[in-house]
Amino acid sequence: MTEFFDAKETRSADERESALFAALPGHINHAKANAPYFGTLLADVDAGAVTDRAALARLPVTRKSDLIDLQQANTPFGGLNATAKGKLYRVFASPGPIYDPEGWGKDWWRIARALYAAGFRGGDLVHNCFSYHFTPGGIMFETAAHALGCPVFPAGVGNTEQQARAVADLKPAGYAGTPSFLKIILEKAVEMGLDHSSLTKACVSGEALLPPLRQSLNDLGVDVVQAYATADLGLIAYETMAKQGLVVDEDIIVEIVRPGTNDPVTPGEVGEVVVTSFNPDYPLIRFGTGDLSAVLAGLSPCGRTNMRLKGWMGRADQTTKIKGMFVHPRQVNDVAKRFDAVTRAKLVVEKVGDGDVMTLHVESNDHNDALAAALREALQSVCKLKGDIAFHIPGALPNDGKVIEDKR
C-alpha cells in the first residue's frame, strides 16, 4: 500500500511545470474552439506562445463574481462550457444562483487525491455528510470515494440523531463533510451513549477548520484533514497528514494575484487564488476564486513536492460602498500604478463622527508633498471621492491581501 496517490505527487518542480505548460497551449486552443466565452475573450491570444507562467500571467482573469451576470446573459453556463448541456452527466446549482456542470468520467472533480491523503483506502465505508441537494458537494466526494473503491453512506445534512445511530450501526471508517457537523454528530453519539469509535479519519471542507475545532475532533478520536475545492474547479489543494499547508492538486495551475488585478504577487504575499483547470468539459483559464491565500515556502514533510498554500485567508472581493459610491480594489491598484514611486497601496475606510473618511496608505521611498498632492488628485479622479494620503516605508503594510480595509 503506497503512501502516495500516484507518481505525479513526487515529481520534481521542473518536471511538473514542463508537463503542465506543454499541455496548456492545446488546452487553450480547445477552450477557444469549443467554449464561446473563451473564444471571444482569448480571440487575439496565440495559444502556442503560452508556455510559461509569465505568458499565462498576460491573459485576463475571469472571476467567480462574474459568473452570475455571465450566466444570466447566456444561460446556463455563460458560454464557459466546452461540452454542450445535453452531453453532460449532471448539472448543479450553487447559491447565486451559479450553475455548475459535471461531465462523464471517473472522479470528475479529482477529489480522490484528497481522500487518499486523508487515509481513505478501498473498502473503507465513507459517511458522506456533504449536501446532495442542488449543490455538488455530496456527489463530488461520493464519486471520489468510489474511485478509491470505497462504499458510501449518502447521509447528507441534518437528522443528527439518525446520523449518530448510523455511525454506531454501520461503523464507517471515515467522514466527509463540514467539520462543525462532524462535531455535532459525535457529541450527539456521546450524549446518546452510542459507539462512534470506528470513525477515525475525516476529510472536511466547506468551512474553516480552526485549531480549537480540530483539537475537539481529535479528542473525540478523529484525525481530520482539509480539502480546498470549489464547484467550478473541483480540487484545488489538500492537506496531508503532515498538516503543514495545503498541497496544490497535480492537474491544475495555481497563481496568486493581487486582488482586483491580473498581476501575480511576489512569493509569499497574500493575494487571490487564480486557477487554470485542464478540465475539457469546463476549461476554466485563469479563474479567480475570490479566495485569499499565499504560497507557503518549501516542501511538505509528507514527501509530496508540489507547491503549498497557507490555507483560506479571507475574501478577495473587497468592494466597499463609501458615501453612496462603490469603490473596487482594481481602482486602488489603478491609482498606485500611475506612480513609479509607489510600490503598494491600501485604502482604509473609517467612520469619523457621522462621516466616512478614507485614507490611501502607500509604500514608497519618496515621502513628499508633491507626491501626496498627485496621489490625492488621482484618487479623486479614479474613485470620485476625496481621501487623505499616508506614507509608509516599503514592506510596512500588513501582508494580509487587503487592498480595501473597511474599519467602520
Q: Which residue, of 284, 315, 346, is where some domain finishes? A: 315
Is the domain of 155 the same as that of 38? yes
In this structure, what C-alpha cell is assigned to residue 372?
501626496
Q: How confident is the model at residue 406 (pLDDT cuts 50, 70, 90)?
A: confident
For residue range 162-173, list pLDDT tens digits in order. Answer: 999 999 999 999
Give the separation between CA 401 and CA 106, rounded to whole angstroms: 36
For residue range 298-342, list pLDDT tens digits in order. Answer: 999 999 999 999 998 888 877 887 877 778 888 998 999 999 999
Q: What pLDDT score does 208 carry? A: 84
Is the domain of 280 the same as that of 146? yes
Is the domain of 78 the same as that of 178? yes
Q: What pLDDT score does 325 carry? A: 76
Q: What is the distance, to the nearest Å, from the Cα of residue 261 to the centroid of all Cα atoms in its chain?
A: 17
Q: What pLDDT score does 217 carry? A: 97
Is the domain of 274 the same as that of 393? no
Q: Which amino acid is at 20?
A: L
Q: Which residue has the cell 466547506?
A: 206
CATH number at residue 346: 3.30.300.30
- Spatial neighbors of 290 by CB under 8 A, at least 6 apart, are 63, 64, 65, 272, 315, 316, 317
For residue range 57-102, list pLDDT tens digits in order. Answer: 999 999 998 999 999 999 999 999 999 999 999 999 988 889 999 9
159 assigned to some structural domain: yes
The answer to whether residues 50 and 56 touch, using CB atoms and an 8 Å cutoff, is yes
Is the domain of 302 the same as that of 347? no
φ, ψ at 407 (rounded to 5°): -100, 10
3 assigned to some structural domain: no
φ, ψ at 321 (rounded to 5°): -95, 120
Q: What pLDDT score does 354 carry? A: 67
Q: Which residue, of 265, 286, 315, is where some domain finishes? A: 315
Is the domain of 276 the same as that of 385? no
Is the domain of 281 the same as that of 344? no
Q: Which of 80, 43, 140 is nearest to 281 (CA)?
A: 80
Give the separation between CA 148 and CA 158, rounded to whole angstroms: 26
Q: Which residue, of 286, 315, 344, is where some domain finishes? A: 315
CATH number at residue 178: 3.40.50.12780
Q: How confident is the model at residue 372 (pLDDT cuts 50, 70, 90)?
A: very high
pTM of this structure? 0.87
Provide the domain limits for residue 386.
320-406
The answer to whether residues 206 and 177 touch, using CB atoms and an 8 Å cutoff, is yes
The per-residue pLDDT of the chain, averaged, comes to: 94
Q: How confident is the model at residue 1 (pLDDT cuts 50, 70, 90)?
A: very low
5 assigned to some structural domain: no
Sign, CA torsion 198/120/130/125 = negative
* Number of domains into which the chain is organized: 2
